[in-house]
Amino acid sequence: MDAPPSVTLSRQYGGILDQANYLLELGRTYQIIGDNNQATQSLEQALMLYRQIGDRLGEANTLGTLGSNQRTLGNPAHAVDFYEQALPLYRAIGDRLGETAVLRQLGDSWNALGQPQRSVEVYEQALPLYRAIGDRLGETAVLRQLGDSWNALGQLQRSVEVYEQSLALSRSLGNRLDEASTLADVAHQYRSLGDLQKALDYFEQAIGLYQEIGDRNGEATISTSLGQIHSERGDQDQARGYLSSALALYRQLGRNDMVETLESRLSNPEETTIEVHSSVQPDGFIFITWGTGYSAVWQDEHITIHGIHNEPLMLLQGHTAKVNGVLELTDGLLLSWSDDKTLRIWSQSGEALAVLSGHTAGVISAKVLEDGRIRSRDTDEHELTWTPNGQLEQALEQEKEGSERISILTTKIALVRVLRFHTSEINDICVNNFMGISASDDRTISVWSTTDYSRMITLEKHTSNVLSACLTPDNRFAVSGSDDTTAIVWNIATGESIFTLKAHTSFVNSVAVTPDGRNIITASWDDTLSIWDISTGQQIKSLVGHRGNVNGVAVSPDGQVIASCSDDGEIKLWSLDQGQLLKTFTTHSSGVNNISFSPSGQTFVTASDDKTARLWDITTGREILQLRGHTKAVSDASISNDATLILTCSYDGSVIVWDYFTGVRLARFEANISLRCLAVSGSRDNLNAFVGDQIGQIHVLKGTL
């Protein structure tokens, strides 16, 4: 009989498996004590080890834990990514418990992202699994969440049907708190459907349960709802009785906002509507409702998004001083303002879409005008007006490029974080899925998480400035190049160097790995490139042809073509298998600093000292676009994952986002410091850029264009 997979793995990879298990438990422990950044670091290290030894259960468990950690950090989009990676693994190994747990968490994450239709699809997959394994508590919870999702979609009758199923299960299990809460949910649905009698029946059952279990907050909320319904039906005596009871309870709870509201209502019987959705709570938190049943809660510099049942879903991070207010914009976005002199616009997934900078003092108020513009005021009584996209009105301008091209620049790309892993100039950045790597003049390479931005490991062995770094496709290994004329292959899990590649006689300025992970390409200031076998560290071929320092190298997505660029102003294409020169491009008027392929491999973009970036057709050799807008040398350029955007950075301290098809400038970010390199991930709808500067900082930019 074959040994179970866990036993086989333990025999073959005992030390690595033990280390992976330890890191997984360490990550879970950090998560429990609230140190989510350390949790992410430990979990990502565990994930690499499980993948290295092929432990699918360990990999699935780690991905699920990473997903829950990202939800705690307020990143439901990242959580979805981890859960969707874990789900097929649980299915492949037949782990139904793991599958049900991940489905439920995935549904919750889609709800947090404001996509209830996706959550419905996921919850309906989870329900039969909970029934099959006999988990009635889990089934009850999923039914409740499914009802919430149907409610968010406006399918009130479907919502009622599902809540009724959840109610029956809660009663059979004797869970009175769940029963009371679900009764209230059903009542609200019947009220929305216009059946006030059924709403009254369910609210009265709910209030009886809340009284039995001593939940005064639940009792006060239901008393308020009962008072409103009786008022709508014209029974003012009954309404007054319930509202008076609610008033007494809110006084006991210290809810002064509701005390004032109910006192006003009771003194003015003509009022039939009671606003209960905006409040200052006794512990100092302030909140508003957002969307369908969600709320935004803020205290100090923190903003937290809570779900339909008041569970925390997301933490909006960015403000550095006390938040003074939050409001919902007409398109479902959130606007916040703070003593840090900024306003911020947030997406439903918790991303900071724009940072509105212009005030010279803390921002104390903001409002949305009828035409969608935003007006804000600071403590110095200065008022500023912003476009709906978050740009100062006086800064909005039309620019003419050449003779015809016109664009309007907006702040659709915003700085969300500055990473400080290095103490000197950053020369190269590469990102691959959840991992990033950076190379610096401080002689180190940093490997870090692109999800929570924590440093995972620092690699040190080079004896001079590190000029380049990249990751293998599976994120197991890294390659770096240095002023010391060597390149090094690293094991990321252990931080150890595997091979030192020695063939060049000058700086190794750029490195790349082929898509199959078998070969390394190095580019050097000795005017040559080298092809290496990654498994042996042996040089396979030297490519000679440039007449100046070779600054950049890239490999096409199909792994067939090497592209290089040089101080001689030339771009050359080489065949990987033969090392043969295929084409030379020569329209730049100065040295070319970097080169990057599009996802299809049919085009590539170059960055040059002549202050331009250019897009090329690989087949015809034709220059498709010439991008002019920087005032100094363009240090790097890259194409978005969906091939709709080109991003460039420059020594002039700016990042420009260009339309891939037209060359129109869509957005510009000013860092006010010389920028050396960039890496791009995501697409037009969810753009992420990591930009390195001359003092060792990585600027994390996000946007939707």
pLDDT at 11 over 90: no
pLDDT at 693 over 50: yes
pLDDT recorded at residue 9: 39
Number of CB atoms found within 10 A of residue 94's CB: 8
pLDDT tens for 469-489 read 999 999 999 999 999 999 999
pLDDT at 618 over 50: yes
Domain locations along the chain: 1-94, 286-395, 426-645
% of the chain at pLDDT higher than 90: 37
pLDDT tens for 215-235 read 887 788 888 888 888 877 778
For the ranges 374-378, 402-406, 479-483, 683-687, the maximum mean pLDDT occurs at 479-483
Element (H, E) at 139: helix 136-152
> What mean pLDDT is predicted for residues 451-459?
89
Which pLDDT band, with edges at 50, 70 and 90, does 257 fall under? low
For residue 35, give the DSSP letter: -
pLDDT at 46 over 80: yes
The residue among 145 and 650 whose pLDDT is bigger is 650
Tokens for 104?
Answer: 């439920």
pLDDT at 653 over 80: yes
Residue in 76, 82, 6 with CA at minimum distance from that of residue 43: 82
534 half-sphere exposure, CB direction, 13 A CA radius: 23
604 within 8 A of 563, measured Cβ to Cβ: yes
Which pLDDT band, with edges at 50, 70 and 90, does 8 fall under? very low
The beta-strand segments (E) located in 243-322 are 279-280, 286-290, 294-299, 302-306, 312-316
Residue 131 buriedness (CB in 10 A; 0-12 / 13-18 / 19+): middle
The residue among 412 and 247 whose pLDDT is bigger is 247
pLDDT recorded at residue 516: 93
> What mean pLDDT is predicted for residues 593-600?
95
pLDDT at 467 over 80: yes
What does the angle CA 329 – CA 333 – CA 83 come to, to the nearest 5 degrees? 160
Question: In which residue are the tokens 């950076």 written?
Answer: 438
Which pLDDT band, with edges at 50, 70 and 90, does 579 fall under? very high
pLDDT recorded at residue 5: 43
pLDDT tens for 156-210 read 788 888 888 888 888 888 878 778 888 888 887 787 777 888 888 888 898 888 8
For the ranges 72-86, 102-116, 503-517, the maximum mean pLDDT occurs at 503-517
Average pLDDT along the chain: 83
pLDDT at 576 over 60: yes
pLDDT tens for 330-371 read 556 788 998 888 888 887 666 677 778 778 788 888 887 766
For 286-395, CATH number?
2.130.10.10
Number of CB atoms found within 10 A of residue 545's CB: 16
pLDDT at 322 over 90: no
From CA 147, how far away is CA 139, in angstroms rounded?
Answer: 12
For the ranges 97-111, 208-222, 369-383, 531-545, the maximum mean pLDDT occurs at 531-545
pLDDT at 284 over 90: no
> What mean pLDDT is predicted for residues 397-421?
53
For residue 410, give the DSSP letter: B
| Matching fold, domains 286-395 and 426-645 | yes
pLDDT recorded at residue 330: 58
Pairing of strands 323-328, 334-338: antiparallel
Answer CATH for 1-94 from 1.25.40.10, 3.40.640.10, 3.40.50.300, 3.40.50.2000: 1.25.40.10
pLDDT recorded at residue 184: 83
Which pLDDT band, with edges at 50, 70 and 90, does 559 fall under? very high
pLDDT recorded at residue 176: 80
Tokens for 275?
Answer: 């606003």
pLDDT at 294 over 70: no
> What class has domain 426-645?
mainly beta
From CA 161, how far away is CA 150, in angstroms rounded?
Answer: 10
pLDDT recorded at residue 412: 63
Whole-structure pTM value: 0.49
pLDDT recorded at residue 444: 96
Tokens for 703?
Answer: 């946007």
